[in-house]
Homo-oligomer: A and B are copies of this chain.
Amino acid sequence: MRVAQVAAPVRTQVAERLRAAITGGRFAPGQRLVEKDLCALMEVSRASVREALRHLEAEGLVVNVPNRGLVVSRLTARDAASIYEVRGMLEALATKLFAARATEEQLAALEASVDRLGAAYASGNVEQIIEIKKEFYNILFAGSGNSVIPSILRTVNARITQLRRVSLSSPARWPASIGEIRAMLDAVKRRDPEAAFRAALDHVQRAAEAALPLLEP
């Protein structure tokens, strides 16, 4: 009987906290990340901070300026548009595969999640919406049977989190959004992969249309 690993390695904890700080907006894009300061902030050694930063660097959340150090990567309008294009394709693929492969249990779980999401939109609790949307996608990816889509989207989405939060904070698009998600669910329930693909792609494209103009006013 294997006992639970109590403590994750320090470097991964550091990486997670840094990732949360960046995606949560506490570190602004363009801000310098000075190793020594991070050591003081988290009370760990420089080696651990550096290894964590190499991880974030590989994820694209921070970029390295030679001999100057790391700065929180700045999202250009083109990057954001590219990310939405990729998201559209991969989420559409996942939805299509879900429609073709998911078990009835997974389908029921997805439907239940959509119901909760509708309730969350009605209540207006943004944190709850974000939480349930994450759950929704976890069910979707699990049922798609594709093991690499989640990791790609997690990485790619981390870079546009601020943008999503901003766009989500205006409730104007909420009714349309939940409607699009219900359309995805309908297609999946009909076991219609092509319709599911189109519905998911449509959802992301409309989200992009709402979010991208916020980038450069």
Q: CB within 8 Å of B: which residues of A?
A: 5, 9, 11, 47, 50-52, 54-55, 57-60, 66, 78-79, 82-83, 85-86, 89-90, 92-93, 97, 145-149, 151-152, 156
Report the minimal beta-carbon distance from A5 to chain B, rounded to whole angstroms: 6
Sample of 27 A–B contacts (CB below 8 Å): A5-B66, A11-B54, A47-B47, A50-B51, A51-B51, A51-B54, A54-B55, A54-B58, A55-B57, A55-B58, A58-B58, A58-B59, A78-B147, A79-B147, A82-B145, A82-B147, A82-B148, A83-B148, A85-B97, A85-B146, A86-B90, A86-B146, A86-B148, A86-B152, A89-B92, A148-B156, A152-B152
In the bound complex, residues from chain B placing their C-beta under 8 Å from that of A89 are 89-90, 92-93
Taken together as a complex, chains A and B put the C-alpha atoms of A98 and B48 apart, in Å, by 42
Would you call the interface of chain A mostly helix, strand, loop, or mixed?
helix
Closest to A87 in B: B148
Contact A148/B79 with A85-B97, A89-B89, A89-B93 known, Cβ cut-off 8 Å: yes
Closest to A159 in B: B148
Report the minimal beta-carbon distance from A154 to chain B, rounded to whole angstroms: 11
In the bound complex, residues from chain B placing their C-beta under 8 Å from that of A152 are 86, 152, 156
In the bound complex, residues from chain B placing their C-beta under 8 Å from that of A148 are 79, 82-83, 86, 156
Closest to A64 in B: B9
Report the minimal beta-carbon distance from A144 to chain B, rounded to whole angstroms: 9
In the bound complex, residues from chain B placing their C-beta under 8 Å from that of A58 are 54-55, 58-59
Contact A85/B78 with A66-B5, A152-B156 known, Cβ cut-off 8 Å: no
In the bound complex, residues from chain B placing their C-beta under 8 Å from that of A47 are 47, 50
In the bound complex, residues from chain B placing their C-beta under 8 Å from that of A51 are 50-51, 54
Taken together as a complex, chains A and B put the C-alpha atoms of A126 and B57 apart, in Å, by 33
In the bound complex, residues from chain B placing their C-beta under 8 Å from that of A90 are 86, 89-90
